[in-house]
Amino acid sequence: EPCGFEPTYQELASAVREEYPDIEIESRLGGTGAFEIEINGQLVFSKLENGGFPYEKDVSTHPLG
């Protein structure tokens, strides 16, 4: 389980899939304790910059345009 973030990743991915069922979601292993979320190549959240994990609503309500 990379960095112990798998449960958080799965929870957030599930929330996004509920809002956008046809979206493709992927994860990549990082070695620095980073937990970042990109939508269409745009960084929308960084654990290192924000000091913690996002809430589901922060990710699932982000525009995908």
* Domain range summary for the chain, segments of one domain joined by +: 2-60
Intervals of the chain under pLDDT 50: 1
Name, in order, each residue with C-beta under 8 angstroms of 46's C-beta and a sequence gap of 6 or more: 34, 35, 36, 37
Q: What is the pTM of this model?
A: 0.65
Strand partners, 45: 37
CATH 3.50.50.60 fits 2-60, yes or no: no
| pLDDT of 62 | 66
